[in-house]
Homo-oligomer: A and B are copies of this chain.
Amino acid sequence: MSGEDAPAEQQNAVDQKQETKAAEEPKAEPPKTEPAPAAAEATATPAAATEKVPEEDTFTYRALVLTGYGGYDKVKLQVKKGKPALKAGEVLVRVKACGLNFADLMARQGLYDRLPSPPVTPGMECSGVVEAVGEEVTDRKVGDKVMVLNRFGLWQEVAVVPSTHTFLIPEGMSFEEAAALPVNYITAYMMLFDFGNLRPNQSVLIHAAAGGVGIAATQLCKTVKDVTVFGTASASKHETISEGGVTHPIDYRTKDYVEEVRKISPKGMDIILDPLGGSDTHKAYNLLKPMGKLITYGTSNMLAGQKKNLLAVAKNWYHQFSIHTLSLIQGNKSVCGFHLGYLDGEMELITQAMNTILDLYKEGKVKPRIDSTWHLEQVGDAMRKMQERNNIGKVILNTEPMPEEEKKEEPKKEDKKKEDKKKDDKKKDDGKKEEKKDDKKKEEPKKEEEKKEEPNKEEK
């Protein structure tokens, strides 16, 4: 494996070499007549750079960059140079924490169509402090603590986004919580309360109930009277999700969840949230009560192994659910598709949802559950934690540089990497089986503890 493929976590020093092609920025490309983004320009147009004010030239920040599609090692930590320019309506945020989403895993394998081609900085949510505001920004000021939602580009120390994509962090919410909230809670909220029209006494089936969206959805269900939550999750997570509000936890890895649901609720479900896709969407449809709503919002089933698994992808396509109106009419059923990444033109709707969610937060009715927090250097391990089905709640990246002591332990992880490679080559078609075995191997939680013992900041 070449040095170029080394994952971020294994780089003893961050990758300082300037890329001639800069990672795509989250904001719209500036018109050709304006100066090109500073990062791209730094070496390409040195003459122009020397004319700049010193700060613009000396300003550097670290950014995670997806350099190509593949395994965990495809996300690298790089240093960018030059302060990004602000257009009207934009703010510059000094990022403190970033949320990791399932879509980031898909994106790494080239399976997520809302991320531009590599090289590109992923990351659709973060929290931080406003460091500069562009013209026409009236609702944010320097120093505001904000959480940010964007199509991509937030896994870096500095991010420029439209101010409409930021939300003020309420009193008492940590940066970690703030980075964990936007995607999961807006998704869960809009699915349950817009498409789902959840009302008292109804029943809801939540898959991956111990995941980011799953926990958010469970908490939101509990804000409605007498809602019964059926939740699938790996067995080791059942205690936690029961405490969190799941009425009937189901181990989908050892049992047929459809049968389990029918045993308890023979008529089926009022609402089913389906992040799995493929044949699970069919199962969900058949499990709906009359007037039931199926909300499909993901294709987790496409992910099996560290690198793109063509069989899993093909299976998902092959089983893709398609429905005739006649069947919907005779069944009195509703099928909805949700994708926050395609709602970027609807910031008004999103802001409405966010305001309600923040009210619920302030009332103590919802609270993001953090599974673990990782340094940017550890993004590979962070992704692994989620992909190997070991997270309960949200996986967070924080932008504090990693202490030198931790870095020295890195070589250990090389073994694990080789192991991954073997694994990936051996079985490509059954993600579930693979993950079952991996359950025993619990290196991440240890590392997490290590890290938590050393919260001291250096550099910067």
Task: Report the separation of the CA atoms of residues A399 and B188 in the bound assembly, to the nearest whole angstrom.
Answer: 53
Closest chain B CB from A323 CB (angstroms): 6
Residue from the set A195, A291, A320, A336 with the largest chain B CB neighbour count within 10 Å: A336
Interface residues of A in 287-340 (CB under 8 A from B): 290-291, 293, 296-297, 320-339
Known: A322-B325, A334-B335. A343 touches B290 (CB 8 A): yes
Task: Report the separation of the CA atoms of residues A325 and B279 in the bound assembly, to the nearest whole angstrom.
Answer: 12
Known: A330-B342, A337-B330. A291 touches B195 (CB 8 A): yes
Would you call B321 and A331 a contact (CB within 8 A)?
Answer: no
Known: A197-B194, A346-B291. A330 touches B321 (CB 8 A): no
Chain B residues with CB under 8 Å of A328's CB are 296, 335-337
How many residues belonging to A are interface residues under a CB distance threshold of 8 Å? 36
Chain B residues with CB under 8 Å of A338's CB are 329, 332
Chain B residues with CB under 8 Å of A322's CB are 322-325
Residue of B nearest to A333 (CB): B337
Chain B residues with CB under 8 Å of A337's CB are 325-334
Would you call A346 and B290 a contact (CB within 8 A)?
Answer: yes
Residue from the set A329, A335, A339 with the largest chain B CB neighbour count within 10 Å: A329
Q: Is the CB of A36 closer than 8 A to any CB of chain B?
A: no
Q: Is the CB of A373 closer than 8 A to any CB of chain B?
A: no
Closest chain B CB from A233 CB (angstroms): 23
Copies in the complex: 2
Task: Report the separation of the CA atoms of residues A335 and B324 in the bound assembly, to the nearest whole angstrom.
Answer: 10
Residue of B nearest to A297 (CB): B329
Closest chain B CB from A327 CB (angstroms): 7
Residue from B194, B296, B326 within 8 A of A325 (CB atoms): B296
Closest chain B CB from A338 CB (angstroms): 6
Task: Report the separation of the CA atoms of residues A338 and B327 in the bound assembly, to the nearest whole angstrom.
Answer: 10
CB-defined A-B contacts under 8 Å, sample of 25: A195-B334, A291-B349, A293-B334, A293-B336, A296-B328, A296-B329, A297-B329, A320-B324, A320-B326, A322-B323, A322-B324, A322-B325, A325-B337, A326-B337, A327-B337, A328-B335, A328-B337, A330-B337, A331-B337, A332-B339, A332-B343, A332-B346, A333-B336, A334-B334, A335-B336
